[in-house]
């Protein structure tokens, strides 16, 4: 659903200006976009999770709106963030559909538009990454504005960033003009891997029995529960700095006219989640507050929201006329009517998701192309190259899954011949199609694709997905999907990793454990044992 304009009637309330070049009005809201790194829904207090304490996120939800069905179209750092910045699905972004890409010069970001409109723009921590943003006038292109990450702190663990996010925001704020609105991206690197094992218990005062249940696709043991508590502790670090930033804005009298958006980029950095396309891969936390702009605070919005909706919402709130913005057509739509509890004709009836190349580790840097659709409690997935390994090739260490105690446990359990159930679920090959009733099976354990009772559901989902992707000009659905495999990975150090590693080069990827790498001959043995 590509939109070429943004709700003119609603925009009048917020003093819409007809050109991005007009003098900014002091009434225009500030924009504070806060994004954790690898946090799945429902891991925040406002959603009822007891073992993650998020008072700042909960405040945003309480004083604004809590969104219960927010999804990224693509569950990996760079492509997910590309969707946020452009308002387009990843398969509409050429190279930026992939992880670690060259960001196409043709796609303008909402922050670049707001800077032209007089906003002070900047970010701290992790902005759009990883990848190469390109150059403008001989310098690095600033997709989000200038970086503010110089102020440091002593982190509570060795794995947590030393960037003092809140102090850097204060430095940014102090550099703006008296009546100048700001657009700031607070990008924590938490809870991205790695973690300092056991600190959720030793530093966070957590206990393993606080976790009500473990996902069915992992073993339920002390190793996994400890890993989950370390993840929770890092989420709380992100939330602590969010709270400090909100308190500072309140102190200087700017919070009332600041649109605060709090979310994450993709699912948690554990096997079968981050970098995949299951329910907890793409389903993410989201809360927004804007005291001057949101009516009836403290409510929930249960319709679908896509990451492509953020850019249109931000431009709409800032009074930016889309036609003069220079941005490519949005797939997303503004959420301003939701803020005012007005009739919202553009509510999403379904959510389309997908992926191409994420991390490396397959021959010739191939990806694992998938598309999917979520509707009426079902998730349908199409795996276009099901002969490939979804988490990456075993003999390069399943590189599309970050190294972790949970990953190591599952791999070693399989090596010890203690059962392959969890290895199959997390690292094994998959069928060409999958169908799950996520309303009852959110862990996506029971594939209904062969069940004739769901034939009509399957047919309807496939037809809806293909129709939507054709409208959006997806090369994968239009017969030119291999173009995504041919886009070059932007980092020289690990480009063409599989070919170089298998040829004997001493090349390493920092995001996996060396012990994750299966011995040469593993794949041949797997094929023999599985009759391939």
Tens digits of residue pLDDT in 9-23: 333 233 333 334 443
Pair (468, 493) in one structural domain:
yes
Q: How confident is the model at residue 9, as a pLDDT? A: 31
DSSP element (H, E) containing 470: helix 455-471
Whether residue 358 contacts residue 275, with contact meaning beta carbons closer than 8 Å, is answered with: yes
Q: Is residue 461 part of a domain?
A: yes
Q: How confident is the model at residue 316, as a pLDDT? A: 96
Question: pLDDT tens for residues 233-243?
Answer: 999 999 999 99
Q: How confident is the model at residue 52, as a pLDDT? A: 98
What's the residue count for the chain? Answer: 532
Residue that is last in its domain, among 349, 365, 394: 349
pTM of the entire predicted model? 0.94
Q: Is residue 8 part of a domain?
A: no
Pair (204, 324) in one structural domain:
yes
Q: Is residue 6 part of a domain?
A: no
Whether residue 57 contacts residue 283, with contact meaning beta carbons closer than 8 Å, is answered with: no
Low-confidence ranges of the chain (pLDDT < 50): 1-26
Pair (97, 193) in one structural domain:
yes
Strand order in the sheet with 378-383: 351-355, 370-375, 378-383, 433-436
Q: Is residue 1 part of a domain?
A: no
The residue behind tokens 């990450």 is 149
How far is Cα 207 from Cα 66, in angstroms, rounded to an integer?
28
How far is Cα 112 from Cα 96, in angstroms, rounded to an integer?
17
Which residues does 392 contact at the CB level (< 8 Å), separation at least 6?
359, 360, 361, 362, 398, 399, 400, 401
Pair (406, 336) in one structural domain:
no
Structural domain containing residue 301: 15-349
Which of 88, 79, 252 lies closest to 173, judged by CA?
252
70 pairs with which residues across the strands? 284, 305
Pair (458, 338) in one structural domain:
no
Residue that is last in its domain, among 319, 349, 379: 349
Q: Is residue 99 part of a domain?
A: yes
Average confidence score pLDDT of the chain: 94
Sign of the C-alpha dihedral computed for residues 57, 63, 66 and 70 taken in this order: negative
Q: Is residue 120 part of a domain?
A: yes
Determine how β-strand 378-383 pairs with β-strand 433-436. antiparallel
Q: How confident is the model at residue 8, as a pLDDT? A: 34
Q: How confident is the model at residue 176, as a pLDDT? A: 95
Q: Is residue 7 part of a domain?
A: no
How far is Cα 156 from Cα 459, in angstroms, rounded to an integer?
51
380 pairs with which residues across the strands? 373, 435
Pair (82, 216) in one structural domain:
yes
Pair (405, 306) in one structural domain:
no
CA 471 to chain centre: 24
Q: How confident is the model at residue 524, as a pLDDT? A: 87
Q: Residue 265: which CATH number?
A: 3.40.720.10
Pair (316, 362) in one structural domain:
no
Q: Residue 240 corresponds to which tokens in the numbers above?
A: 């602590």
Pair (268, 220) in one structural domain:
yes
Q: How confident is the model at residue 526, as a pLDDT? A: 85
Q: Is residue 174 part of a domain?
A: yes
Pair (171, 70) in one structural domain:
yes
Pair (325, 264) in one structural domain:
yes
**Max CA-CA distance within the chain?**
70
Quote the number of domains for the chain.
2
Whether residue 175 contacts residue 213, with contact meaning beta carbons closer than 8 Å, is answered with: no
Residue that is last in its domain, among 331, 349, 367: 349
Whether residue 279 contacts residue 438, with contact meaning beta carbons closer than 8 Å, is answered with: yes
Whether residue 325 contacts residue 4, with contact meaning beta carbons closer than 8 Å, is answered with: no
Which residues does 299 contact at the CB level (< 8 Å), separation at least 6?
65, 66
Rg for the chain, CA atoms, rounded: 22
SS3 assignment, position 61: helix
Which residues does 295 contact at the CB level (< 8 Å), separation at least 6?
339, 340, 341
Pair (178, 70) in one structural domain:
yes
């Amino acid at each position: 659903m590509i939109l070429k304009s943004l709700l003119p009637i609603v925009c009048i309330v917020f003093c819409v200006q007809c050109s991005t070049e007009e003098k900014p009005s002091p009434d225009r809201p500030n924009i504070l976009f806060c994004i954790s790194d690898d946090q799945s829904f429902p891991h925040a207090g406002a959603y009822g999770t007891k073992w993650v304490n998020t008072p700042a996120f909960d405040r945003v939800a309480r004083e604004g709106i809590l969104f219960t069905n927010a999804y990224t179209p693509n569950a990996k750092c760079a492509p997910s963030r590309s969707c946020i910045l452009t308002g387009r699905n990843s398969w509409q972004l050429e190279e930026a559909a992939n992880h670690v890409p060259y960001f196409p010069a043709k796609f303008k970001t909402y922050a670049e538009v707001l800077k032209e409109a007089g906003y002070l723009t900047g970010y701290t921590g992790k902005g759009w990454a990883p990848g190469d943003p390109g150059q403008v006038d001989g310098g690095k292109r600033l997709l989000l504005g200038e970086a503010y990450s110089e102020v440091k702190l002593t982190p509570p663990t060795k794995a947590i960033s030393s960037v003092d996010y809140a102090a850097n925001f204060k430095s940014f704020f102090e550099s703006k003009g008296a009546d100048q609105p700001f657009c700031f991206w607070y990008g924590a690197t938490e809870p991205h891997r790695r973690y300092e094992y056991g600190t959720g218990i030793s530093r966070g005062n957590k206990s393993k029995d606080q976790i009500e249940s473990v996902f069915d696709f992992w073993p339920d043991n002390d190793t996994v529960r400890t890993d989950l508590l370390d993840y929770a502790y890092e989420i709380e670090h992100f939330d602590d700095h969010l709270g400090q930033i909100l308190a500072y804005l309140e102190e200087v009298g700017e919070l009332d006219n600041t649109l605060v958006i709090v979310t994450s980029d993709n699912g948690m950095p554990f096997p079968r989640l981050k970098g995949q396309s299951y329910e907890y891969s793409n389903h993410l936390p989201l809360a927004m507050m804007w005291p001057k702009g949101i009516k009836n605070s403290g409510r929930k919005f249960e319709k679908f929201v896509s990451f492509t909706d953020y850019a249109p919402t931000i431009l709409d709130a800032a009074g930016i006329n889309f036609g003069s913005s220079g941005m490519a057509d949005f797939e997303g739509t503004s959420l301003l009517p939701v803020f005012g509890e007005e009739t919202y004709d553009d509510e999403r009836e379904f959510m389309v998701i997908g992926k191409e190349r994420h991390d490396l580790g397959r021959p010739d840097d191939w990806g694992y192309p998938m598309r999917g659709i979520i509707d009426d409690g079902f998730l349908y997935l199409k795996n276009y190259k099901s002969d490939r390994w979804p988490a990456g090739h075993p003999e390069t260490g399943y590189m599309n899954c970050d190294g972790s105690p949970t990953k190591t446990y599952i791999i070693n359990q399989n090596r010890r011949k203690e059962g392959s159930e969890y290895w199959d679920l997390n690292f094994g090959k998959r069928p060409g199609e999958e169908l799950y009733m996520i309303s009852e099976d959110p862990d996506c354990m029971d594939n209904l694709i062969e069940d004739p009772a769901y034939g009509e559901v399957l047919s309807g989902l496939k037809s809806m997905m293909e129709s939507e992707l054709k409208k959006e000009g997806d090369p994968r659905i239009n017969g030119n999907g291999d173009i995504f495999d041919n886009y070059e990975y932007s980092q020289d150090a690990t480009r063409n990793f599989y070919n170089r590693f298998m040829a004997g080069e001493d090349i390493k990827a920092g995001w996996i454990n060396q012990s994750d790498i299966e011995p040469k001959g593993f794949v041949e043995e797997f094929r023999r044992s599985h009759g391939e």
